[in-house]
A = this chain, B = another copy of it.
Amino acid sequence: MIRPPADPPPPSPSRDASAVATVGDLSEAELLERVLPLLVRPADRHVLLGPGDDCAVVAAPDGRFVVTTDTQVQDQDFRLSWPSGVVTTGFDTGVKCAAQNLADVAAMGAVPTAVVVSLTLPPETPVSWPEDFARGLTAGFAAMGADRCSVVGGDLGAGRELSVTATVTGDLEGREPVRRSGAGAGGVLALAGSTGRAAAGVALLDDPRYRPGADSALDELARAQLRPCPPVPAGPAAARAGAAAMIDLSDGLLRDAGRIGAASGVVVDLDGAAVAALAEPLRPAARLLGTDPRTWALTGGEDHGLLAVFPQATPLPEGFRAIGSCAPAPPAHDGPHPRVLLDGRAPDLALGRRIGEGWDHFAP
């Protein structure tokens, strides 16, 4: 069972003394000296040369590697402080950075091997922030089951707003990458991890009616937004089990299932009962905020669950549950058709404008 990383250990007295210092008080070299030791993980022989030179050198045993990059910007991808009074820590941001990037690698069926990370920090940022970020990143690797992954390099710089970019590489272990385009009619749609929890969490964090600490079910949803914890080993497990298509569920079930449908030339039909079951744990938040939990389950991203299609009759690997199936796409001369259905019908528009759109960085 994959569990989100717990809080970091309380700061040692030596750190307490420095907690008042800001990034602007230190040189780049001094800051690196404090952050780098926090990124060290048990030596792994696939890191052939770690941080400290112009580049790191990483092993790619099967002669290939997968690579992806993802950025989080303050007030766009996370808030430093929320209307509910919650504060996003460096630790939270480190965990989220790991989740976003590792899930993309897992969604190809690959095992994450190495991360390079660039931090842009306003000079007034407390030094404890990048320190906690480093702790969150490595705690995230461990909690998500990315045992072989470590930070091999990075860049530190100043800016007016806080932003984090990580690039992760992965090892396909000799297998073909699992693409979005391989699903066939009759395939079983299955999910590892959750959906909608991070969306319920952001709704709670954004609302003063949510009081942190008063209800553990709500706190858990808020934590799914702050520290998502995707089941990274489920990606390679799906590939080994013969997954035909896979995607990181980062933009919502409808949108990402639609992407598999479009890339594979099939129609993905979601099972309404399965969606209702996925929405069930979101009900306490929906009750508090007066919304339909199915909207979060269908359109909420950021949990970074893994959505895969397995050929019919393939036993699902551990951690996956069936939530739908694939049907042949209607002939092109019948005109445009939806790529994703709910119980055989186009999803209810009353669920909101966000359906089928998910998250768009530039949407007004």
**Chain A interface residues (CB < 8 Å from chain B):** 23-24, 26-29, 31, 48-49, 53-71, 73-77, 103-105, 107-108, 110, 114, 116-118, 120, 123, 152-161, 163, 165, 167, 169-170, 172, 177, 179-180, 246-248, 360-364
Contact = CB atoms under 8 A, between A and B. Distances in A.
A64 B70 contact: no
Contacts of A26: 362
Given A161-B161, A163-B163, A55 B60 contact: no
Nearest to A116: B69
A355 to B, nearest CB: 15
B61 A63 contact: yes
Contacts of A58: 64-67
A65 B171 CA distance: 12
B156 A68 contact: no
A114 B167 CA distance: 12
Contacts of A180: 53-54
B56 A158 contact: no
A49 B107 CA distance: 14
Contacts of A364: 24
Given A167-B69, A362-B26, A63 B57 contact: no
Nearest to A179: B53
A353 to B, nearest CB: 13
Contacts of A172: 57
B55 A123 contact: no
Contacts of A247: 54
A31 to B, nearest CB: 6
Given A73-B120, A76-B157, A165-B165, A362 B28 contact: yes
8 contacts: A28-B362, A54-B104, A54-B180, A63-B63, A65-B169, A69-B155, A73-B159, A155-B165
A27 B116 contact: no
B68 A362 contact: no
Contacts of A68: 54-56, 116, 153
Contacts of A163: 120, 159, 163
Contacts of A152: 67
A150 to B, nearest CB: 12
Contacts of A62: 63
B118 A70 contact: yes
Given A60-B60, A163-B163, A155 B71 contact: yes
The listed residue with most B CB atoms (<10 A of its CB), out of A62, A63, A159, is: A159
The listed residue with most B CB atoms (<10 A of its CB), out of A63, A103, A105, is: A63
Contacts of A155: 69-71, 165
A156 to B, nearest CB: 6
